[in-house]
Amino acid sequence: MPASLEIRNLCASVGDRPILKNFSLTVPKGEVHAIMGPNGTGKSTLAKVLAGHPDYAVQSGEALVDGETILGLEPDVIARAGLFLAFQYPSEIPGVTIANFIRAALVARQAKGAPFDAKAYYAELYAKMDALKMDRKFTSRFVNEGFSGGEKKRCEILQLMMLRPRYAVLDETDSGLDIDALRIVSEGVNAMRGPDTGFLVITHYQRLLDYIVPDRVHIMWDGRIVHSGGKELALELEEKGYDWVKKELAHA
């Protein structure tokens, strides 16, 4: 069984507008891959399609988590199969505390009726919050309600760390973060790097990749990957800008 997040020839649309056009990419477990690209090229759509968002229609192609197909499954089934999405714009859940929310997500992964070890849960939750420099009081705040941009992203990474997915898709996690928050969030992700997790980091800017150094960088353009390389590709892109990609494509 291939230990990877594998996307093959994926075509997807919103309404009758095609967004992903024959998109293919493989993220082996244990690696960090970055997708860069200008706005409107389909990066966030890719994240939503993988997570099973009902607004997107898949026309063809495949997406596999460790060899098991996830396309067409309900979002919660995909999540429990091991795919986590850190949202660019996380929703607010009024009245539901962060502690209860993460707890509910963990309970959903247990066998029905299995006992939940609340003591161990809180010990782990507090340790992870300390790592993310989050105040303990945070646990009793309602999910994302009244959070600053930085707090929302930290909360996403906290959930990522608690739920330990096999693959994590980070959608523009750097947007809205100041440099300190960016460093803290990146440290959280880096702490999770290892043989058990694969990362797909979606970003518009090279900045994030100074902190989360990718194994591979892919450039996305008009619904597909047009260029792949090592971490130096991000620097090259930063230097030359997306026009460089555009010109290169025109010559091809």
Partner 1 sequence: MADLDQDERMQREAIDVDRSKGDFRYEEDYAYDAGVGLDAGVVDYISRVKGEPEWVREFRHRSLGVFESMPMPTHWATDDLDNIRFQEIRYYLAKGQKPSRTWEEVPDDVKRTFERLGIPEAERKFLAGVEAQFDSEASYSRMKEELEKQGVIFCGPTEGLRDHAEVFRRWFGKVIPAGDNKFAALNSAVFSGGSFIYVPKGVKVAQPLQAYFRINAQNFGQFERTLIIADEGAEVTYMEGCTAPKFETATLHSAVVELVALKGAKIQYVTVQNWSSNVFNLVTKRGVAEEDAEVRWIDCNIGSRLTMKYPGVVLRGKRARGEVLSIALANDGQHQDTGAKMIHAADDTTSNIIAKSISVGEGRSTYRGLVHIPRTLRGCRNNTECDALLINEHSRTDTYPAISVRGRRNSVQHEASVSKVSAEQIFYMMQRGLTEGEAMSLAVNGFVNDLVKEFPMEYSVELKRLIELQMEGSVG
Binding positions for partner 1, rule: CB under 8 A: 51-54, 74-76, 78-80, 84-85, 87, 90-96, 100-102, 104-105, 108-109, 142, 159, 163
Instruction: Give me the residue label for tokens 């523009």.
Output: 172
Toward partner 1, which CB reaches closer, 72 or 229?
72
Q: What is the CA radius of gyration of the chain?
A: 18
**Cα–chain-centroid distance for residue 113?**
30
CB of 188 to partner 1, least distance (A): 17
CB of 110 to partner 1, least distance (A): 10
- Kindly list the distances between the CA atom of residue 60 and the CA atoms of 21, 22, 90, 173, 234, in Å, as whole numbers in the listed order: 9, 8, 28, 28, 30
Toward partner 1, which CB reaches closer, 80 or 204?
80
How far is the C-alpha of 36 from the C-alpha of 220, rounded, in Å?
A: 6
Toward partner 1, which CB reaches closer, 13 or 215?
13
CB of 250 to partner 1, least distance (A): 38
CB of 80 to partner 1, least distance (A): 5
Which burial class, exposed, middle or buried, applies to 126 when counting CB atoms under 10 A from its CB (0-12, 13-18, 19+)? middle
Toward partner 1, which CB reaches closer, 156 or 233?
156
How far is the C-alpha of 75 from the C-alpha of 128, rounded, in Å?
A: 25
Toward partner 1, which CB reaches closer, 85 or 177?
85
CB of 214 to partner 1, least distance (A): 23
Query: What's the one-letter identity of residue 213?
Result: V
Question: Edge-to-edge strands of the sheet including 4-14?
Answer: 17-28, 4-14, 56-65, 68-69
